Structure 1
Amino acid sequence: MGIILTNFAPESFWIQIGSSPSQFSDLTISHFLTANLIPVTLGNIVGGTVLVGLTNWVIYRRPQLRSVAVAQLEIKTNPYSAITNNVNISSLVEDVMDPTPITLRADTPVPIALDALLENKLTIAPVCDANDHLIGFFSTHDVMVDLWCEDYKIGIQQKVVDLMSHEVLSVQAKDRLLNVAERFCIDKEQLFPANEAGVATQLNTMSVEERAKTMKASVPHTLAVLEGNTFVGIIDRHAVMKALRPIYGKPIIVTKPHNQRSA
Structure 2
Amino acid sequence: MPEHIAGTSDLRGDCSRCFGLCCVALPFAASADFAFDKSAGKPCVNLRGDHRCGIHAELRPKGFTGCTVYDCFGAGQKVSQITFGGRDWRTGSKADARRMFEVFPVVRQLHELLRYMAEALTLPAVRPLRGELRALREETERLTRLAPEELATLDVAAHREDVSQLLLRASESARAGVRGKRKDRRGADLLGARLKGADLRGISLRGACLIAADLTGADLRGADLIGADLRDADLTDADLTGAFFLTQPQVDAARGSAGTRLPGSVTRPVHWAAGR
TM-score past 0.5 threshold? no
Which is higher, the Rg of structure 1 or of structure 2?
1
Bigger RCO (CA 8 Å, 6+ sep): 1
Higher strand share: 1
Q: How does the TM-score come out when normalised to structure 2?
A: 0.25
